[in-house]
């Protein structure tokens, strides 16, 4: 096993078979018993790599969202997807001509699943074409880019959502419910550990021009975003330290390991670790005056497991991407409001904190935040 990703892919394959979460509309046995006849979000996926494939597979179980188009720079992938998912030729585009989706009434939204550095220009082009956008996280390389993307989508009167799949995950939402109900009392501390040993040194995630950084831009955003939704506040300061043991693999500007600390207005503090050099790191811990919540795995593709001071969490096991696309279809088509936001502004808040983490790691100073 070369990385946590390989392990998670194997787990998810088996998890898909028994996934069901009826009350949110995720397809399963319930879907065959009660045919859905409401509005359907017709989606084109941009970027047909491993995660794009995972999303496409998960969408086969959706009722409210349907894969209808593809955008890729690889003609052979387009042909394969056409055959596998019955995608018509008129809904297939490449990176040069996808602006033409403006004239295609059969596509409602584009899910951008490309390297981080491409998100900004591609999302803006999709918005100008008049289509709603779902963008993988991190939404951009920095907060300035993210804000420009939000502005472009507002100007075009289209929605911009970010691929925060954990914001819909049942165990996660149960912990948030318990916290909101005061069951943990005053929140004091959060710990987020996210990491794996990264493999191929030539992959885009280790290319600063494409990734915008290293582990923080890939896996660390889970701990950062998790600290915010688990504590239920936005941080007001950050400190950070970077550690690098392999300067050959992790070039200048590509972080191997970053530890960062966040301070929150209610007095809680968070201690987080993001790394590309250690496996077995996928854990959240939330501590309050009356109780605690521990999740491990906390953000992997599934199944999520957790416990609180009241016992084991026993929420339904779901395919995250299926549930995410169902709920995002509801947001776009029906104006649904999620418990935890997944809009562009949410993405910008994370980017502001990430900018500050890099600044703090470089300067050694505590950086004040105003989100």
Helix extents (H) in the chain: 4-15, 29-33, 50-59, 75-85, 116-128, 143-155, 170-180, 208-211, 215, 221-231, 320-334, 344-363
In a domain, 322, yes or no: no
Last residue of a domain, one of 134, 165, 196: 165
Same domain, 44 and 184: no
In this structure, the answer to whether residues 35 and 161 fall within a common structural domain is yes
290 among known catalytic residues: no
How big is the chain by its Cα radius of gyration, in Å? 20
**From 131, 137, 283, 352, the catalytic residue:** 137
**Is 275 domain-assigned?**
yes
Residues 6+ apart with CB under 8 A from 147: 348
The CB density around residue 205, as the number of other CB atoms within 10 Å, is 19
- 174 and 158: one domain? no
Give CA–CA dist 320/345, Å, rounded.
22
Q: What does the pLDDT read at residue 302?
A: 82
The pair of three-digit structure tokens given for residue 324, joined into one six-digit string: 């995410």
Domain containing 136 equals: 4-165
The per-residue pLDDT for range 214-256, each reduced to its tens digit, is 999 999 999 999 999 999 999 999 999 999 999 999 999 999 9
Does any domain span residue 329? no
- Respond yes or no: is residue 222 known to be catalytic: yes
Q: What's the gap between Cα 200 and its chain centre?
A: 22
Q: 336 lies in a domain? A: no
Q: Residue 220's domain is classified under what CATH number?
A: 3.30.360.10
pLDDT tens string 37-96: 899 999 999 999 999 999 999 999 999 999 999 999 999 999 999 999 999 999 999 999
Q: Which of 93, 222, 301, 358 is catalytic?
A: 222
Which tens digit of pLDDT belongs to each residue from 158-212? 999 999 999 999 999 999 999 999 999 999 999 999 999 999 999 999 999 999 9
Question: pLDDT tens digits for 337-361?
Answer: 999 999 999 999 999 999 999 999 9
In whole angstroms, give the CA distance from residue 332 to residue 192. 31
Query: Which positions ≥6 away from 335 have C-beta within 8 Å?
Result: none
Whether residues 183 and 309 share a domain: the answer is yes
Average pLDDT, the chain: 93
Residues 220, 113 share a domain: no
**In a shared domain, residues 209 and 231:** yes
Predicted TM-score (pTM) of this structure: 0.91
- In this structure, the answer to whether residues 283 and 309 fall within a common structural domain is yes
pLDDT tens for 196-205 read: 999 999 999 9
Q: What is the DSSP letter of 343?
A: B
């Amino acid at each position: 096993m070369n990385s946590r990703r390989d392990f998670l892919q194997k787990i998810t394959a088996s998890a898909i078979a028994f996934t069901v979460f009826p009350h949110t509309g995720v397809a399963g046995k319930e879907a065959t018993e009660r045919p859905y006849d409401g509005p359907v979000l017709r989606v084109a996926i941009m970027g047909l790599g491993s995660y794009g494939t995972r999303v496409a597979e998960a969408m086969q179980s959706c009722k409210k969202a349907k894969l209808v188009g593809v955008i890729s720079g690889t003609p052979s992938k387009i042909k394969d997807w056409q055959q596998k998912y019955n995608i018509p030729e008129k809904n297939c585009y490449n990176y040069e001509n996808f602006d033409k989706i403006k004239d295609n009434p059969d596509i409602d939204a584009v899910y951008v699943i490309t390297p981080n550095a491409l998100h900004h220009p591609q999302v803006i082009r999709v918005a100008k074409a008049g289509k709603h956008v779902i963008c993988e996280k991190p939404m951009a390389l920095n907060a300035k880019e993210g804000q420009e993307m939000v502005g472009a989508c507002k100007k075009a009167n289209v929605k911009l959502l970010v691929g925060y799949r954990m914001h819909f995950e049942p165990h996660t939402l149960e912990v948030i419910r318990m916290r909101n109900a005061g069951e943990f009392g005053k929140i004091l501390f959060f710990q987020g550990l996210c990491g794996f040993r990264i493999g191929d040194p030539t992959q885009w995630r280790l290319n600063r021009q494409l990734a915008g950084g290293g582990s923080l831009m890939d896996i660390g955003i889970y701990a950062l975003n998790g600290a915010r939704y688990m504590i239920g506040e936005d941080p007001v300061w950050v400190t950070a330290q970077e550690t690098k043991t392999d300067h050959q693999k992790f070039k200048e500007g590509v972080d191997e390991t970053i530890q960062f600390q966040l301070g929150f207005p209610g007095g809680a503090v968070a201690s987080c670790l993001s790394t590309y050099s250690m496996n077995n790191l996928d854990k959240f811990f939330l501590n309050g005056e009356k109780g605690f919540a521990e999740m491990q795995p906390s953000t992997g593709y599934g199944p999520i497991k957790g416990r609180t001071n009241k016992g084991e969490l026993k929420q339904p096991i779901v395919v995250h991407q299926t549930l995410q696309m169902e709920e995002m279809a509801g947001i776009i088509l029906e104006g649904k409001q999620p418990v935890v936001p997944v809009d562009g502004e949410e993405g910008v808040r994370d980017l502001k904190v990430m900018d500050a983490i890099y600044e703090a790691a470089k300067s050694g100073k505590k950086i004040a935040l105003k989100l």
